[in-house]
Structure 1
Amino acid sequence: MSTEDRKLQILVVGAGLGGLSAAISCAIAGHSVHVVESAKELVEIGAGLQITPNASRLLKHWKLPDSFWETGAEPTALTVHRYSGQKLAEDRPFDQHTRSKYGAPFVDFHRCDLQQALYSRSVELGVTFSFGQRVESIDFSGPSALTDTGATFSGDLIVAADGLWSRCRESFLGGKDEPLPTGDLAYRIVLTTDQIKDPKLRAWVENPEVHFWIGPGAHVVGYSLRAGKMYNIVLLVPDDLPAGVARQTGSVDQMRKLFDGWDPILNEFLGCVDKVDKWKLMHRSEMAHWVNDDSNLVFLGDSCHPMLPYLAQGANSSMEDGAVLGSLLGHLKRKSDLPGVLRLYESLRKSRGEAIARETFKQRHDFHLPDGEEQRKRDEIFLSQLGKELKGPFPSRWTCPEVQPWIYGYDAIKEVEDAVARNPELFSNNAISSSPRPVL
């Protein structure tokens, strides 16, 4: 059988982290990949990202260069504080514990550094791009994607990686499908060391750690970026944006007032802020399927399982999706087996992605408890295990001995290898074209 008998023309809609991961993974698998992106170019926007071991091992697998890794900050501690500043939980040395348990690091990056590294790797692998092309609809008979410029892009398979406001999803469902508000919004802040004059605060930035402050109806996370030269702060608070408004310039004074009485060191950081944006946090209902009936459209990332940022898994799980999809397609023997391979992808990824999304709401509950009896019981669990080996369930899933291994220990490449071994009839040279139901 020739290579061309199994080589797909793959069209990826969206050059976000999930789309670029799928592009890389599918290109490594030997397929021809073209990415259509609405932005005119990939520019330096966004803020920090916490890349956990389930995704950092993929970045190693995809051979991102040393220059990219040098832009990261690997935290040596992860600490949870009560909003007053009282320490409730701490894992130190967090970097060593994480590498020892999972064989891969927990590293904080600026989003644009990761996006640019993935883009460069995609180009190295022969992936081509069309920028300034917003996909408006999908024709499933091709399949083909029609953009706002009137251009049409076709392929054997369309990968819907167009995020929370996915037009691919609307075409698939046959109508408008607006994201739903969660009741929370995020103030996102990035400070450079030039903006931070206090030596004590600069030391926090230059010696990377992750700090959470949890309080009534809100919580904050702060961590270093770019080898300790920047500090990322995310403030998660009740949503006060008007209906229909997803992003707005925020009032620095209003933001600071929300945190009156919180930890003085947090307020010292907020005192360095001169501008801020606020982002409505949205979610979506779960989809019945991630693959269409014609098996020529497949979903990944925020287009099918958007997440609250409370476990930092939106980007990480999107990269998992891209890795699993491309790796499975690397085992494709003939194009006629594509329906079975896509069903296997859906069966491997859908339950995990949706379960993590649900877990983020549980973390919000535990981090946003109002002062009272439930909050006191939560803090008793925290304090009773401070400095000890943790036992689950634990209120912070970031170090919970039940939840952390489930998230961080996931190996997308091994998941595919195991699934291929369980489904020899689907991946053998003698596989039947009707594509048998995959074995999980």
Structure 2
Amino acid sequence: MDNVTIPPEARLNVTIVGAGLGGLSAAISSALAGHSVRVIESAKELSEIGAGLQISPNGSRLLQYWGLPPSFWSTIAEPTELTVHSYSGEVLTHASGFDKDIRQKYQAPFIDVHRADLQRALYERAVELGVLFIFGWRVQNVDFQTPSVTSATGETLECDLVVAADGLWSSCRKAFLGDADEPPNPTGDLAYRIVLRVDEIEDEELRRWVRNPTVHFWIGPGSHVVYYSVRSGNMCNIVLLVPDDLPPDVARQAGSVDEMKRLFEGWDPILMRFLSYVNKVEKWKLLHLKEMKSWVSKESTVVFMGDSCHAMLPYLAQGANSSLEDGAVLGTLLGRLKTRDELPRVLRAYENQRKTRGEAIVRETFKQQDSFHMQNGPEQEARDELLRLGPGCSESSPYFPSRWTCPKVQPWLFGYDAISDAQNAVL
């Protein structure tokens, strides 16, 4: 994509706080719209942190639109099948030809990637578009009048628009809400996040699993597990979702491998074989945010996106995807500016487009938590029977227990085109 030509009087100096996926997507989209973009990031450099991400078509079509390089696409894994198992291993529902079906339905792929690969590709594309990055710069305060951001060392950067993409523990949100800002709320679950390289695995059957990308879920009482391949089938990502037992004030802590394995005693033997290769693990408390009344400051100088305003459970893999959507909508709308006086209207259009969908996805993740974590009993048995019948059984009912293949939820999630939505918005 080439940069959009906008009138000189409409060109903004945009400062984006945070170089996560949301901030990078906003940087690319805003630069393509013709604005001058600067990203400030508290980390001293981009690093190989994180694990796997599932990018559904609503996200991957944006990566295609933004022109991410072939070097990124060579790292992806595109799952050919999606399977939901009971915790004992029984196949409850199975979608073969998942890759072809998704591409046919949504004209974009479902891909599994390593977060670091995607972050690096987005960063390099942003640099190519002329975005300036400042690392090791932590926001201490935000002036909503100027507007400007000030660091802990007292350095101040002025601009026309501040985009708050600084995540769950957002400094910008704290400045915006003041004493009304509440800490993130526990969801009742925590995650053990595991990445295994294929060369660490001696079991030949497990190596074939990794080499041939698929997605698997195991669902059980109070817990579930997600498995998929990344990095072209050279690595797998496993996330174990279990009841939260961390202290209230602890969000992340080293975990015990033995304790983790005990939680899954009696589960599918193939899952336990994967876990036998785990040498260390961390526990991550899963948190979410209370809905914010507004994502835009009354001065129309600061706008929020991503986890800073709609952090969610990872149970529909939409945290990253919805952040990409936010950035795409914001930048596309900024590309429709004719004068700076139109900025308040454009930011309200962004809020109208994104707030309803973002918060609806948050609510849907909790419904998936309920569906996947049922205790054994009549309700769980009814759920399993619906899964065995397949997605077609839910055509006339409220939902299919696996929203990944639900005929109502999947099109709503995967079929969304953020750029088209923004291009067609009424300003």
Same fold? TM cut 0.5: yes
- Counterpart CA distance in 2 for 1:2 and 1:342 is 17
Q: Is 1:120 the counterpart of 2:124 in the alignment?
A: yes
- Counterpart CA distance in 2 for 1:83 and 1:333 is 56
Q: Is 1:212 the counterpart of 2:249 in the alignment?
A: no
Q: Which amino acid in 2 is paired with 1:255?
A: M
Deviates more, 1:303-312 or 1:147-156: 147-156
Structure 2 gap ranges (5+): none
Displacement of 1:154:
1.4
Does the 8 Å contact 1:145/1:154 carry over to 2?
A: yes
- Counterpart CA distance in 2 for 1:357 and 1:390 is 22
Does the 8 Å contact 2:186/2:288 carry over to 1?
A: yes
Deviates more, 1:149-158 or 1:187-196: 149-158
Aligned to 1:380: 385
Q: Is 1:108 the counterpart of 2:133 in the alignment?
A: no
- Counterpart CA distance in 2 for 1:189 and 1:11 is 34
Aligned to 2:82: 78
Does the 8 Å contact 1:133/1:149 carry over to 2?
A: no
- Counterpart CA distance in 2 for 1:205 and 1:132 is 37
Match of 1:346 among 347, 351, 354: 351
Q: Is 1:160 the counterpart of 2:164 in the alignment?
A: yes
- SS in structure 1 at match of 2:310: coil
Correspondences of 1:78-97 after superposition (within 5 Å): 78-97=82-101
Aligned to 2:103: 99
Deviation string, structure 1 residues 119-151 (Cα, Å, up to 9, x no partner): 000000000011011112211121111112322
Distance 1:195 1:295, change over 3 A: same
Displacement of 1:4:
2.2
Aligned to 2:318: 313
Aligned to 2:226: 221
> Which structure 1 residue ranges, 4+ long, deviate > 3 Å from structure 2?
388-392
Q: Percent identity?
A: 64
Aligned to 1:333: 338
Correspondences of 1:7-406 after superposition (within 5 Å): 7-175=11-179, 176-385=181-390, 391=395, 393-406=399-412
Displacement of 1:2:
7.9
- SS in structure 2 at match of 1:304: helix
Displacement of 1:385:
2.4
TM-score (norm 1): 0.94
Does the 8 Å contact 1:217/1:238 carry over to 2?
A: yes
- SS in structure 1 at match of 2:38: strand
Distance 1:61 1:398, change over 3 A: same
- Counterpart CA distance in 2 for 1:320 and 1:385 is 30
Q: Which amino acid in 2 is paired with 1:300?
A: M
Total equivalences in the alignment: 420
- Counterpart CA distance in 2 for 1:148 and 1:41 is 18
- Counterpart CA distance in 1 for 2:414 and 2:352 is 20
Displacement of 1:9:
0.3
- Counterpart CA distance in 1 for 2:320 and 2:393 is 29
Q: Which amino acid in 2 is paired with 1:354?
A: E
Deviation string, structure 1 residues 343-372 (Cα, Å, up to 9, x no partner): 000000000000000000000000000000
Q: Which amino acid in 1 is paired with 2:360?
A: A
TM-score (norm 2): 0.97
Match of 1:407 among 405, 413, 416: 413
